Amino acid sequence: MSHAPTPPRPFRSHRAKAFAGTVRVPGDKSISHRALMFGALASGRTVITGLLEGEDVLNTAKVVEQLGSPARKVGDVWEVLGRGVGGLAQPAADLEFGNSGTGCRLMMGVVAGHDITVKMTGDASLSTRPMRRVLDPLKTMGVKVLDGRDTLPLSLRGSSRLIPIVYETPVPSAQVKSAVLLAGLAASGATTVVEKEATRDHTERMLRYFGAEISTERHGSKTAITVKGHAELAGQNVTVPGDPSSAAFVAAAAAIVPGADVTIAGVLVNETRTGFYTTLREMGCDVAFLNAREEGGEPIADIRVRQAKLTGVRVPPQRAPSMIDEYPVLACVAAYASGETRMEGLAELKVKESDRLAATVAGLVANGISARVDGDTMIVAGGSSVRGGGVVATHMDHRIAMAFLILGLGADAPVGIDDITFVATSFPTFQSLMTGLGGQFEAV
């Protein structure tokens, strides 16, 4: 079923006079996707509190329903009635993922262990993104790609007789790792993923929480994650913590608006996701993790950020997996730091919702900031003030849109974006939450 494209909604931000308060950002997107999928693969009822109700996650909920596992909101929580590993059903229609690479790639692993055929589709942006990195190991396990494509739309045929594999990921990718481990739940034996660099470990943590037998071992500089096949998962109660990638936009604004003092309550602080906050500290920003605790196998804290004089830094390539989604907004913060900020090892940014390296640099230059790409490195020369006044092409990318609205909160002249529509994919309350703290926005 086709839909008429939504007309673009140009927007802009103005310099904020103050920025302070305590807020709670929407639930973590990565954990929201996984809670729905793992609930579908579990036996019994999974109850999810704090699910992110952005478009990406709601598309995953619809797909779970299409596969025969009811997933719906009941009062303030979401309930998933699981069908068990191997128990999902043949869908009657295409599985539509909208803009969500995470939802699509992880779902490939979910459907892999079932004797069903699915056609996966997405929007124009998702249909350009690479899927081969996930499809290659799944094909080795026994999944068939029926139309020979490695971008959406594509059709997969799963198998109830998957072969367990040992797979070393060629590039750091939590999505590839997760897809293989999810397929491994249904395989006849142990499936192992070997990583050269650590990536987000939400899948391992949550699988363990749902009852899977999963182990992690270090072998020199590499990590091997092994899941036992023919797994039996049990429905659980899941509390989704605040998304650190969404919280990063609030923290970034607090880093650049004079006198800012903001606390973001109940945020996920898994060390595979906190590189942005480490970098803010290195730049001189006052960042504190308060009231640390654990919920559902994940570490949580309240993050307090206070504005301070910022200095440019080198961000090493090893940090990239822990903050890959935050580089556009970090580059906007770097515009306000004295000296040069070098962000290294960013090849992955070229294949996100847009080419985020090119889009970020273009947006900075349009607003009077010296920035360039050198290979896989983004270099921003910052200063005490940002001219602003430019209009940024977002390329249908929610994180580019939000990053440059943050840039405008400290700029001399308003900063515009060509379309705010896609912000709803990950942070539907962005405008109201930021305005409540003192952000200045307007439609153009």
Which residues are marked as active site? 325
222 alpha carbon, distance to own chain's centre: 24
Residue ranges of E strands in 84-210: 95-96, 117-121, 144-145, 154-157, 166-168, 190-195
How far apart, in whole angstroms, are the C-alpha atoms of residue 134 and residue 384?
44
* Structure letter (DSSP) for residue 15: -
Give the DSSP H or E segment for 251: helix 244-256
How far apart, in whole angstroms, are the C-alpha atoms of residue 140 and residue 164?
9
How many C-beta atoms lie closer than 10 Å to residue 235's C-beta? 22
Give all strands of the β-sheet with 339-343 in edge-to-edge order: 314-315, 339-343, 377-382, 370-374
How many C-beta atoms lie closer than 10 Å to residue 389's C-beta? 16
- Identify the three-state secondary structure at position 208: helix
Owner of token pair 């896609």: 422
What angle, rounded to 10 degrees, do the helices at 398-407 and 327-334 form? 20
Q: Which two tokens stand for residue 402?
A: 């939000």
How far apart, in whole angstroms, are the C-alpha atoms of residue 218 and residue 225?
9
- Amino acid identity for residue 74 in this structure: V
